[in-house]
């Protein structure tokens, strides 16, 4: 089913456009007052696992700002939950896994689930969201990279270094690779089910890829992302976003992905150069820069588009939007793209 506003999909195909499309990572959520109202009533995973709530949260920013794509409200940690690993979301703390993976025996107890059964609530949320969007804009589905998921499964919580996760990979590589493969197989099935349910594109978030050296990145992250891209690119467009992974842009560009996300530490010029100049890039406004005055945000966004070029480019942040961003500043970011003309 085609969508009325197909700017995002055309940019993913590398077509010439009048202006680049725009959306924001984490646009469905914590900076919106209407989201906060829902958050007061329901805990985090209730929001993720209740299709009515997830679909409502997904469309909230669309009503307010009219981005060129919606991204399904969910979380990357629904995957380990489905794999028989307990995940809690603690207020003012973040993800907490009371029984982290520490040994081969722990890996053996992890299942590759039937995603249609265990993650059916996500598929229902997609159907409900598609109805609400009424084919006006594309819907993005997403998953974390296997390495990023492993980081949480082994560390048991967020971390600045993920030292336990790295230690597990370096001291028990066999167990680590088995775990990574189980996550990969689950993720492939999950994303395929999302496409079947109606998402128009998928994004892989490798939030902690930049924690690894280039050599270790190839071994413990990229080879698994490549499997996902290979399996999904025949189903629809795939975007790969690796935070801090500028060193892998050349390899990523040859992967078969439709677009690559770039964080704010890599300039447009370097990103184009490192990725070979032919693939669609997405990014890379510093999320904290949305705290600047709206007029400054607008001029910086215009400059950013000029530096990347309007074609083969999707305007986004370099990571998720922060909770303390004023609404008028988020609006200035979106409006600057919509008003763009070169």
The CATH number of the domain where 26 resides is what?
3.20.20.210
29 has binding-site annotation: yes
pTM of this prediction?
0.98
Residue 2 lies in a domain: no
Residue 310 lies in a domain: yes
Number of domains composing the chain: 1
30 has binding-site annotation: yes
289 has binding-site annotation: no
Q: What is the pLDDT of residue 281?
A: 98
Q: Which range marks the domain in which residue 188 is found?
A: 7-338
> Does the structure show a pLDDT above 90 at 95?
yes
Residue 13 lies in a domain: yes
> Does the structure show a pLDDT above 70 at 160?
yes
Mean pLDDT (whole number) for 32-53: 97
Share of the chain above pLDDT 90, in %: 98
259 has binding-site annotation: no
63 has binding-site annotation: no
Catalytic positions, please? 26, 30, 39, 75, 152
Q: What is the pLDDT of residues 43-87, one digit of tens each?
A: 999 999 999 999 999 999 999 999 999 999 999 999 999 999 999
Residue 43 lies in a domain: yes
> Does the structure show a pLDDT above 70 at 1?
no
Residue 19 lies in a domain: yes
Residue 1 lies in a domain: no
Residue 243 lies in a domain: yes
26 has binding-site annotation: yes
Task: Compute the mean pLDDT over every residue in the chain, rounded to the nearest whole number.
Answer: 98
Share of the chain above pLDDT 70, in %: 100
76, 78, 38: which is closest to 58 by C-alpha? 38
Q: What is the pLDDT of residues 313-335, one digit of tens each?
A: 999 999 999 999 999 999 999 99
């Amino acid at each position: 089913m085609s969508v009325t506003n197909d700017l995002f999909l055309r940019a993913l195909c590398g077509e010439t456009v009048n202006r680049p499309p725009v959306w924001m990572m984490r646009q469905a959520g914590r900076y919106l007052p209407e989201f906060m109202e829902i958050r007061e009533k329901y805990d985090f995973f209730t929001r993720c696992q209740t299709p009515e709530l997830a679909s409502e949260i997904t469309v909230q920013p669309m009503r307010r700002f009219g981005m060129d794509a919606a991204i399904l409200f969910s979380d990357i940690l629904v995957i380990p939950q489905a794999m028989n690993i307990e995940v809690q979301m603690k207020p003012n703390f973040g993800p907490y896994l009371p029984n982290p993976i520490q040994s081969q025996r722990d890996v053996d107890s992890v299942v590759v689930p039937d995603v249609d059964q265990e993650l059916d609530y996500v598929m229902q949320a997609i159907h409900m969201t598609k109805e609400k969007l009424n084919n006006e804009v594309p819907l993005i589905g997403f998953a974390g990279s296997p390495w990023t998921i492993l980081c949480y499964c082994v560390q048991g919580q967020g971390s600045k270094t993920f030292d336990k996760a790295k230690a597990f990979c370096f001291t028990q590589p066999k167990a680590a690779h088995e775990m990574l493969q189980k996550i990969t197989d689950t993720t492939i099935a999950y994303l395929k089910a999302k496409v079947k349910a109606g998402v128009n594109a998928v994004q892989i978030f490798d939030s902690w890829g930049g924690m690894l050296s280039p050599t270790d990145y190839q071994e413990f992250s990229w080879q698994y992302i490549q499997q996902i891209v290979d399996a999904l690119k025949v189903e629809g467009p795939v975007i790969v976003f690796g935070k801090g992974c500028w060193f892998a842009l050349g390899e990523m560009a040859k992967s078969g992905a439709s677009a690559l996300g770039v964080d704010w530490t890599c300039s447009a010029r370097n990103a184009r150069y490192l990725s070979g100049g032919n693939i669609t890039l997405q990014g890379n406004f510093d999320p904290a820069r949305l705290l600047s005055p709206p007029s400054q945000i607008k001029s910086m966004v215009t400059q950013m588009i000029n530096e990347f070029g309007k074609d083969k480019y999707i305007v986004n942040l370099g990571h998720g939007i922060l909770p303390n961003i004023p609404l008028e500043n988020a609006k200035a970011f979106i409006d600057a793209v919509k008003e763009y003309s070169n």
